[in-house]
A and B are shown apart, each in its own frame.
Chain A
Amino acid sequence: MRTITFEQIASAVEGLCIKANTQIGADVKEALEKAHAAEESPLGKTIIGHIMENNAIAENEMVPICQDTGMTVVFVTIGQEVFVEGGLTDAINEGVRRGYEKGYLRKSVVKDPLIRVNTGDNTPAVIHYDIVPGDKLHIMVAPKGFGSENMSQLKMFKPADGVEAIKKFVIEAVEKAGPNPCPPIVVGVGIGGTMEKASFLAKKALLRHIGHHSDKAHIAALEKELLEKINNLGIGPQGLGGRTTALAVNVETYPTHIAGLPCAVNINCHVARHSETEL
């Protein structure tokens, strides 16, 4: 057994919250640069230019890229030989509490979904745990803004509906969202499993680096086809018209039941935040 302390975890999460909210990923930067060069709409090109300028200001001045610093979604992969001294969930939430305070990040979480009083520290986080062999602890912090989160969709298809129904569903979800999720967007699609597994996969798909396709040939082909069709919608940067509606479409799959074909769509805005570390 390897022992990792509460303080090590809280401190790591604190740093990850600040980093994820102030520094854009290298993959996103590169994708925006390419989009800026290729965009046909003059207004769309100007908008992507402003987005790049915004990202540079955020990084240089250590201020949030977007004022919606999100609900903090945390993906944890924990080796079963790791012993956490002091409680893992509590340590993660303590890190979120410190990070959002020290980083001057907006606290956007309400305690009760109906009564709606702010918790004042952005906790609790939404935490997903995965237990694996070994003695490492991997933590990824992915703050999720709700301009894009609110555009999510889930549908339980019949097996007979097949891949064509899935394509139509994903494209319609992006079309319906239009300008709301702050395009250019990253589209996460989860196919298979159960209702909640498909939603989890769609969220997980957003974490994949832009430019990396699925290692399954038929899924990689589906990603490329969906990206092309989405960019043909004309929605463009901020929805004001143009060629760059999505920077990437990432599809994750899982085995499912003989009777079902669940499919979920989760959208990320152009900020597409995530930051990770291994303890």
Chain B
Amino acid sequence: MKAVRLTTPLTQEVLRQLKAGDTVLISGTIYTGRDAAHKRLVETLDRGEDLPFNVKDAVIYFVGPCPAKPGQVIGSAGPTSSYRMDTYSPRLIEQGLTGMIGKGLRGPAVVDAMKKHGCVYFVAIGGAGALMARSIKEAKVIAYDDLGTEAVRELVVEDFPVIVCIDAEGNNLYEQGRAQYQRA
């Protein structure tokens, strides 16, 4: 399978070409956030304040990395379960978020927001945190330092390997893939 290479920011024009099942190598800047950070991001929007990073055409990675060993940029950094962010994701998608990287199922409200505003759900391999950390070239905390592993980080990645799971038309590889291999 030939991988599609893309560089962030992820524009509407690029994301519309991505289809469920495509393997993609992402380069550029992506932002991290998981449960506690998402809660704060949405509370910030509720207060009418600016988010700590520009969410327009941005890609967010649901991850809580391990601490970096001396000489490492970041510790193991595989995806966390995305459904826990379902409550918050539609709000960020409305603000212009165009990509999410995680693993596992998404709820209908998230998929509706993705179709309406144009956003892609990528999956990374759960449990392969050591492998994925190799594609992360720089990492710095940019918000919510007190949250530790859950703080928002700006990552610079190179050929970060993901798979398009749900595209902007709502095609879902979890459903398609399973149907193909299911036996009665």
Contact = CB atoms under 8 A, between A and B. Distances in A.
A106 B149 contact: yes
Interface string A112-125: 00001010100000
Interface string B156-182: 000001010100000001101111111
A106 B178 contact: no
Given A51-B128, A64-B75, A182-B127, A147 B80 contact: yes
A236 B177 CA distance: 8
Contacts, number: 164
B78 A67 contact: yes
Contacts of B12: none
Given A40-B181, A50-B131, A65-B129, A104 B174 contact: no
Interface residues of B, number: 49
Interface stretch (A53-61, A71-79, A199-207): A53-61
Main secondary structure of the interface of A (DSSP, over half): loop
A98 interface: no
A65 to B, nearest CB: 6
A25 interface: no
Interface of A: 40-44, 46-47, 50-51, 53-55, 57-58, 61, 63-69, 104-108, 116, 118, 120, 145, 147, 150, 178-180, 182, 232-236, 238-243, 269-271
B74 to A, nearest CB: 9
Of B69, B127, B173, the most chain A CB neighbours within 10 A belong to B127
A150 B133 CA distance: 25
A67 B125 contact: no
Given A50-B128, A178-B178, 7 more contacts: A53-B128, A63-B75, A65-B130, A68-B64, A232-B182, A234-B181, A239-B178
- Name the residue among B1, B130, B173, B182 with the largest chain A CB count within 10 angstroms: B130
Interface string B129-155: 111111000000000000011000000
A118 B105 CA distance: 27
A147 B72 CA distance: 25
Contact of B67 (A42, A51, A106, A178): A106
A54 B66 contact: no
Contacts of B129: 54, 64-68
